[in-house]
Chain A
Amino acid sequence: MQPASVLRIGMTALASCIGTQLVDWRVLKKEHRTTVVIVGVRLAYLRAFDFFSAPQIEVDAGLVARRGGRFLELDCRLGPPGAAFAALTVLNRPVRLSGTDALDATPADLDASLLARFTEDEHDGSAVPRPVLDRISALEVGGELLDEGRLAFALSRADCEIADQWQNVRLPDWAAAGRERLVFAAADPRVKTGLSEPMSTLLAEFRRPMYLGDEGTVHTRAYDSNDGALAFVHEVRPAAPGTGGPDGACAVAVEEFRIGGVA
């Protein structure tokens, strides 16, 4: 199952968990003027799974309040009963809607009345990891850069949600497009692993949204991790100067392909 499909299932699970653990989405938005935006994704494929593996899958999901409501973390496992093939973690940042028709918002911790709806074991005060940055640092230090390239893109309404802001679930597809372009043009045969083997993990971090009509590039670098994986690091950069995140990127993703496939 492709990462974008897993992520879409995760978004359905998020809506379900918010409804059961907090309040109905409509109440969350209308009465609490609160919603959430995705800031991080960790997806690990646990075993091979294809069309013939099972007639249906189940989604086991739960939401945890982290750092006193600064973040809401969704954990999902997808697969037939007792045989999950994917583990998905989605880190969300609560935002407070301004109340205008643009649905513009500012980051805001979950208010006390909502936070109180979580049970004791649904709170986690530990530090929130940033696995994307850690993995990129490890690749830059210990990996071998094999190739790099750029792919331009423009955001259409089909890429966006109701506020004409990008849908985060589209990121895996843009990353895949950048990777595929690199694979087809690559001189180093190791890069071909990016299409010949199934993905093992996807990490992503969202720093600043892009919007309908925005143009940007996906800058992709391929690394041999030197620990048995081929990794593709993708930086999504806006065309408008200075409008990206602190390092210029609106989002960063790392795809990895285990040599020999999923263990």
Chain B
Amino acid sequence: MKVVLSGALLRFAEYTKEVDVEAHTLTEGIEQLTTRFPRLRPVLLDGDGRVRLTHQLFLNGEQVARGDYAVGAAPLPVAAQDTLFVLTAVAGG
């Protein structure tokens, strides 16, 4: 799966816009992403490892419902050709 990061997150990912991860589920993909870029973890995930409410995920152009990646949710399968956009909803700079 290809993960595309938005500008507000780029500084925590060494300004890498696109990252390839080998994942079978969305959660695995996020885990690999934050393992590769450890500084991204506290920005993207809260203390329970959930994606913060301030960020939104779009899988192949469709917004992923928050319930699909909540703790305890059924794993959301992803495929190698999928593209996941990770966007910051709004920043308060």
Contact = CB atoms under 8 A, between A and B. Distances in A.
Contacts of A242: 58, 60-63, 85
Contact of B6 (A36, A98, A211): A211
B4 interface: yes
A79 B91 CA distance: 32
Interface string A80-102: 00000000000000010110111
Interface in B58-84: 58, 60-63
A144 B88 CA distance: 38
Contacts of A162: 93
B36 interface: no
Contact of B89 (A100, A104, A240, A241): A104
Contact of B7 (A98, A214, A241): A214
B54 interface: yes
Contacts of A101: 12, 43
Interface of A: 29, 34-37, 95, 97-98, 100-107, 155, 160-165, 208-214, 240-243
A208 B6 CA distance: 13
Contacts of A209: 88, 90-91
Contacts of B90: 37, 95, 104-107, 165, 208-209
Contacts of A95: 90, 92
B7 A29 contact: no
Given A97-B92, A163-B92, A242-B58, A103 B8 contact: yes
Nearest to A210: B7
Interface of B: 4, 6-12, 17, 42-43, 52-55, 58, 60-63, 85, 87-93
16 contacts: A95-B90, A95-B92, A97-B92, A98-B53, A104-B55, A162-B93, A163-B92, A164-B7, A165-B88, A211-B6, A212-B8, A240-B61, A240-B85, A241-B60, A242-B62, A243-B58
Contact of B8 (A29, A163, A208, A240): A163
A164 B63 CA distance: 22
Contacts of A161: 93
A98 B93 contact: no
A40 to B, nearest CB: 15
User: What 9 A-B pairs are tightest by C-beta distance, nearest first?
Assistant: A211-B7, A163-B93, A242-B61, A212-B7, A163-B91, A241-B61, A104-B54, A162-B93, A35-B92
A102 to B, nearest CB: 5
Contacts of B42: 100
B54 A160 contact: no
B93 A165 contact: yes
A128 B54 CA distance: 25
A29 B60 CA distance: 35
A97 B85 CA distance: 22
Given A105-B90, A242-B58, 14 more contacts: A35-B92, A102-B9, A102-B88, A105-B89, A106-B89, A164-B93, A165-B8, A165-B88, A209-B90, A210-B7, A211-B6, A212-B10, A213-B7, A240-B85
